[in-house]
Amino acid sequence: MSRTVGIIGYGAYIPRNRIKVEEIAKIWGADAPSYKKGLMLREKSVPSPDQDTITMAVEAAKNALKRCTINPEEIGAIYVGSESHPYAVKPSGTVVAEAIGATPSIHCADFEFACKAGSEAMFVAHGLVKAGLIKYGLGIGADTSQGAPGDALEYSASAGAAAFIFGENDLLAEIEETYSFMTDTPDFWRREHQFYPQHAGRFTGETAYFKHSLSAAMGIMEKSGTKPDDFDFAVFHQPNGKFPLRVGKTLGFPKEKIETGWLVPTLGNTYSGASPLGLTAVLDAAKPGNRILMVSYGSGAGSDAFIFKCTDKLIEVQNNAKLTRDYLDKNQKYLDYGTYSKYRKKIIKNA
């Protein structure tokens, strides 16, 4: 008999630094209002110089542990999905495991799949619990995204992390269904030793983001026999403000069902953290019985889709850790472009 598996703890982390679209646009002679309108995005988060994918993953994991009562030593796997792992060779997951006290009986791996690496960590962690191989699994999506100076990506590439602990008992949200849709579509990539990713401009839209997001959403609804009316919330990958709203509209989800997890206008695109962070914001606000559709998207390209159903226990733990919207909407520190460049190591110092 198939096991019922779900989220037993979740947590978010967003750095406090922000930079506004106007501040970036003025450096490159770009028209800020058109960028803001085109991307539906006003500002983005920026990591401090002492923050990276690992530090944010640890903070998100600690918040996830605050929302459950498990012994970290019983976590059987930690997977960190990111396209900005601090090391080219050396795992991020082992640092997270050591920091939360989950070593040494544990399996760690780092995942990469552009913006889908976080949902892929979630998918594998939950799958191992479902298979009965581990008691608890921790899946994390975290990124300090990079956008080349002056490129359209620079206006959106931001930083954040979301962590989810999966288990069989004391569920906050049951996973009712999963479905993944992928093809080989080269819409965005970064070659070895390159600082910044390249993208294929408009090719990243219809053939890539929309095709995979829509196919995964339709696929999971067909597989589960559900329709948009059966969901209270939907979270789609959010590389900018417009794309997830258009996917929702095409599928028949009203804006009200998307807004709760639609963080991108003031967060930017946290890449591997994007749809997972949206999910944390939804879980912060959801009520028992609510059903959530989450669809990630990663260039290259593919989408992972999940259907979650919230349990009675969710509302007992929502306030046990800092809420995602509190990270997003409070205590922001706005940077000028010079400080941002220094923080993001865009200034080359040749001694």
- Which residues are part of the catalytic machinery? 83, 115, 237
CB of 87 to other proteins, least distance (A): 8
Distance CA(184)–CA(187), nearest Å, equals 9
Residue from the set 31, 34, 69, 86 that interacts with other proteins by CB under 8 A: 86
Burial string for 260-286 (b: 16+ CB within 10 Å, else e) reads bbbbbbbbbbbbbbbbbbbbbbbbbeb
Q: Does 26 bind other proteins (CB under 8 A)?
A: no
Q: Does 48 bind other proteins (CB under 8 A)?
A: yes
Max Cα-Cα span within the chain = 65
CB of 336 to other proteins, least distance (A): 14
Instruction: Please state, as a whole number, how many other Cβ atoms lie within 10 Å of the Cβ of residue 89.
Output: 5
Q: One-letter amino acid identity for 11?
A: G
Supply the DSSP string of 139-163, one letter for each residue: EEEEEE----TTSGGGGTB-EEEEE
Distance CA(251)–CA(141), nearest Å, equals 25
Q: Does 52 bind other proteins (CB under 8 A)?
A: yes
- CB hemisphere CA count around 233 (13 angstroms): 27
CB of 255 to other proteins, least distance (A): 32
Residue from the set 26, 37, 87, 202 that interacts with other proteins by CB under 8 A: 87
Interface segment toward other proteins; rule CB under 8 A; list 173-181, 225-233, 292-300, 326-334: 326-334
Beta carbon nearer to other proteins, 86 or 150: 86
Q: Show the tokens assigned to 105.
A: 């009986």
Residue 207: helix, strand or coil by DSSP?
Answer: helix
Site string for other proteins, 282-321 (x = CB under 8 A): ----------------------------------------
Q: Does 49 bind other proteins (CB under 8 A)?
A: yes
Q: Does 53 bind other proteins (CB under 8 A)?
A: no
Residue from the set 26, 37, 101, 132 that interacts with other proteins by CB under 8 A: 101
Residue from the set 1, 29, 50, 89 that interacts with other proteins by CB under 8 A: 50
Distance CA(81)–CA(68), nearest Å, equals 22
Binding site for other proteins (CB under 8 A): 16, 48-52, 54-55, 58-59, 62, 86-87, 95, 98-101, 330-331, 333, 342
